[in-house]
Chains A and B, each alone.
Chain A
Amino acid sequence: MKGTIAIVFGGLCCLSAVAMITRPGPAFTNRLGLVRTTDSNPNRTKESEGFAALNPTLGIQLDYSSNNIQKIIVQCSSGVGPDLYDTYGGTQMQTYVSSGIAQDVTKEAKAMGFSIDGDTWPAVRGELSLEGVQYSYPANVNADILIYNKSLFDRFGVPYPKQNITWDEFFELAKKMTRGQGPTKVYGMTPLSTGLFYESMRGEIFSPDGTKLLITGKQMQKAFQMYHDLIFKYKVAPSSLDMKAMAGQGGWGSGSINQFCDGRFAMINVGKWALANFRTAHKDQLEKWEKTGKDPEKRNEVLRLGSVLLPHHAGMKPCYTVSARSVTINALGPHKKEALQFMKFLAGKEYSTIVNEAVDALPGNPKYANIGLTEGDPDLGEMEMHRNTIKAMDYGYQRRLSPFLLASDVDRILKVQISRMESDPSLNIPDLLSDAQQELEDLMQRNLDRDPKLRERYKQLTGSDRVGENR
């Protein structure tokens, strides 16, 4: 027995020694390494190399495994967070600011040339700032456009969508492109969201002062009705539940982009960042065509793309929300000053060139929107996509946020109601929205009950500290 214990103990000591010896050392020996949590896109390494080339004393250490909002908040709050973290949109930024881990960079941004006033796209200001305070700078900026599969349109003999298409025209077109049944069905369109319909009416969730919720308003009812019609009446796009069922099918993967490339959808609303996937799918299809005898008649079946702006409501200007994947500095981190250099880098020529070369949407600085671009494969209409994305940025806007309720709460609760509608077509939409409004008002009330400053502010604006009394 003693011998066994001694052997086990000795073994553990040996393993500990091996662990100590093989422990990864510091990423840099003669530079200060800034930790950045981001996605695992291979382009991030290029970005880090570009930054290091311009900053001899600094380096970027990438952390892919912690790129999750809950992880970032917990790590930063407990003092072991990254120096820089990627922030996906204004909703996340509001949560980070509420958690006290987003650094105010307003003054420095003006001094160093990455301010929201003049150094980025006006449409994304709301993604980077809150109540006039700048917290982030974009790593890239995106506006969704309508991309269509020309090969599929030609096969079905349907004319391509035109620029400035209205929603009604779009539904008619999508109906013509929806064919077949069951697992091989071709849908006219990839899943759309109530949000897209709402935003194309320039819908807002909150009143201008943020004290009232506008969930039960006519615009939201119309958006829900349009989504309902899309999946149950016209049946031209799958619901999110249908998409889950469709996942796992072969082709180039399981997501809607890959299924679009595979010919399961005729149109898709997506940003030009998806070009990386389109290029891979196109190359694969072309190789397959070449291997199977290069039949000229079948050349047209290889993926060919076109693009236009997203549909809009008749009689209204086009309108979409635009998004930014931005970088924020950890307010509780030890290298805030050094991290500013990375934000400055994001607004520069070198970084913008990397973004454009990798077709990773648009760079944050519009001055460099066209730098380093290539024509790309004519089949994919890359320049047309680029031009449409820039045009879409002109129509972009940001939904208003409220200091009294996190936008992530709104998204989560609306998502449950949408899921209920998808599961039960007979559900009454006003009832559903009324439930959501009630639940959100309860949460807003709970926030007021907990935060005296917030309560005071709410009272000053409405004359009461009870939510719903000013409805």
Chain B
Amino acid sequence: MKSSRKNIGIALLFLAPNLLGFMLFTLVPVLLSLGGSFTTWSLRPSVPLEFVGFGNYISLFKDKNFYFFLYNTVYLMLGIPISIAGSLALAVVLNQKFEFKKKNTQVRNELFLAMLIAGASMTLWIAGSRNLALVAFTLGIVALLGFRFGSISYRTMLYLPFFTAGAGTVLLWSQLFNPNFGLINEVIRGIFAVLHINAEAPGWLTSTKSLLGFLPLPSHFNNGGFGLGAREAIMFMGIWGAIGGNNMLLYLAGLSSISPELYEAADIDGASNWQRFRHITVPQLAPTTFFIVVVSTIGGLQGGFEQARLMTEGGPAGITTTLSYYIYTQGFERLDLGYGCAVAWVLFLMILGITLVNWKYGKAEVD
């Protein structure tokens, strides 16, 4: 008993720096923001700090912008199922062992591949398609690395977006999405030309078009109809970031824990690859999928700040302003911290509610 208490004491001592940090920099500010949401807390000294009860919350529910920005936030989350499916697909592919190595011809083959890449890239560069030359060069390097190091190189490369600085990738993507000079539209225009399609490339970050074809905006706003606009651009960027990140790693870990005997039994029964995937892999990964869905939903509801701040300033026409960016504008542009806190707490309650629903019904399904 004495020894157990001593162990707890030692454990707490080790945890103390982290706990203190958590309390000081997370718990206390979170509680302060809860308190602040019931007050007139402002960065304007002329506004006295007064308790207003649910005043901020009542104003919030009357605020038309809040609903529009909530809609934007939820719309951007439409990319989550695609990114989860993509992560699963990638994990299944990368779980295979790629071995291209052949002792006798390895170096010769690698040299040949390197020369092929250099030749193709230089030809495109000289022909004036510099962006396509870069694409060819990048794809070639990826192939070469795969050839050399097998699937481990792909796992590493696909995880890269996860630990690359967010601001840097946001700025990079805003260049890629440039409607006139961006790489993405250059490739799309190239494809259109080859297929003789007479259509305009998407406007991406400068367009209000949407995959649903409409926007719930006042004043009979016509968003330009069906198409790929700023929100889709942000969604694609989100899918790119999430597809090879932690989700893929979780799936890889999950796949490695599936008993091979299950697959062997299926083989004996004559199951096809698809049947193996559908009836063994997917059910066995259900707990992992459940966890990823919960975490992605939370992340999705909190997302969109970096993109709005650095790429779009919430536009065009406010269609990329998400709730997290709205919190920032209320707190630090309008100097109304109390109202900003109220938005943050409503967002928290929504996240909590959705997570509980997920937990109740999703968990039962998984079990």
Residues on A close to B: CB < 8 A? 70, 73-74, 77, 95, 98-100, 183, 241-242, 244-249, 406, 408-409, 412, 415-416, 419-420, 422-424, 426-428, 431-432, 435, 439, 442-443, 446, 449-454
Interface-located stretch among B137-145, B213-221, B249-257: B213-221
Q: Is the interface of A mostly helix, strand, loop or mixed?
A: helix
Residues in A neighbouring B334, C-beta threshold 8 A? 406, 409, 443
Closest 7 CB pairs of A and B: A100-B45, A241-B206, A431-B219, A420-B317, A423-B208, A70-B332, A245-B179
Residues in A neighbouring B348, C-beta threshold 8 A? none
Residues in B neighbouring A422, C-beta threshold 8 A? 316-317
Q: Are A450 and B178 in contact, with the CB atoms below 8 A?
A: no
Residues in B neighbouring A431, C-beta threshold 8 A? 218-220
Q: List 23 A-B contacts (CB under 8 A).
A: A70-B332, A70-B333, A74-B332, A99-B44, A245-B179, A245-B180, A248-B175, A248-B178, A248-B181, A406-B334, A408-B333, A409-B334, A416-B318, A420-B318, A423-B208, A423-B221, A424-B208, A424-B223, A431-B220, A435-B219, A446-B339, A450-B47, A451-B48
Contacting B218 at CB < 8 Å: which of A73, A98, A99, A435? Answer: A435
Q: Are B317 and A451 in contact, with the CB atoms below 8 A?
A: no
Contact flag A95-B335 (CB < 8 Å), given A427-B221, A428-B219, A431-B220: yes
Residues in A neighbouring B64, C-beta threshold 8 A? 439
Residue B43 at the chain A interface, CB threshold 8 Å: yes
Given A98-B44, A424-B222, 20 additional A-B pairs, CB 8 A: A70-B333, A74-B332, A95-B335, A98-B335, A99-B335, A183-B181, A241-B207, A241-B316, A244-B205, A245-B178, A245-B180, A409-B334, A412-B329, A416-B317, A419-B315, A420-B219, A420-B318, A446-B59, A450-B50, A454-B46
Residue B151 at the chain A interface, CB threshold 8 Å: no
Residues in B neighbouring A432, C-beta threshold 8 A? 219
Please report the C-alpha to C-alpha distance between residue A100 and residue B46 in the assembled complex, in whole angstroms.
Answer: 8
Residues on B close to A: CB < 8 A? 40, 42-48, 50, 55, 59, 63-65, 175, 178-182, 203, 205-208, 217-224, 314-318, 329, 332-336, 339
Specify which of A70, A415, A416, A427 lies most central, judged by the most chain B CB atoms within 10 Å of its CB: A416
Instruction: Give the shortest distance, in Å, between A42 (CB) and chain B (any CB).
Output: 24
Please report the C-alpha to C-alpha distance between residue A250 and residue B324 in the assembled complex, in whole angstroms.
Answer: 35
Contact flag A423-B42 (CB < 8 Å), given A73-B335, A428-B220: no
Residues in A neighbouring B182, C-beta threshold 8 A? 248
Shortest Cβ distance from A409 into B: residue: B334
Shortest Cβ distance from B204 into A: residue: A245
Contacting B316 at CB < 8 Å: which of A423, A427, A449? Answer: A423
Instruction: Give the shortest distance, in Å, between A298 (CB) and chain B (any CB).
Output: 24
Specify which of A73, A95, A248, A406 lies most central, judged by the most chain B CB atoms within 10 Å of its CB: A248
Instruction: Give the shortest distance, in Å, between A441 (CB) and chain B (any CB).
Output: 13
Q: Are A427 and B219 in contact, with the CB atoms below 8 A?
A: yes
Q: Are B206 and A244 in contact, with the CB atoms below 8 A?
A: yes
Shortest Cβ distance from B42 into A: residue: A450
Please report the C-alpha to C-alpha distance between residue A99 and residue B331 in the assembled complex, in whole angstroms.
Answer: 12
Please report the C-alpha to C-alpha distance between residue A388 and residue B175 in the assembled complex, in whole angstroms.
Answer: 37
Residues in A neighbouring B59, C-beta threshold 8 A? 446
Please report the C-alpha to C-alpha distance between residue A431 and residue B220 in the assembled complex, in whole angstroms.
Answer: 9
Shortest Cβ distance from A241 into B: residue: B206
Please report the C-alpha to C-alpha distance between residue A80 and residue B27 in the assembled complex, in whole angstroms.
Answer: 24
Q: Are B43 and A77 in contact, with the CB atoms below 8 A?
A: yes
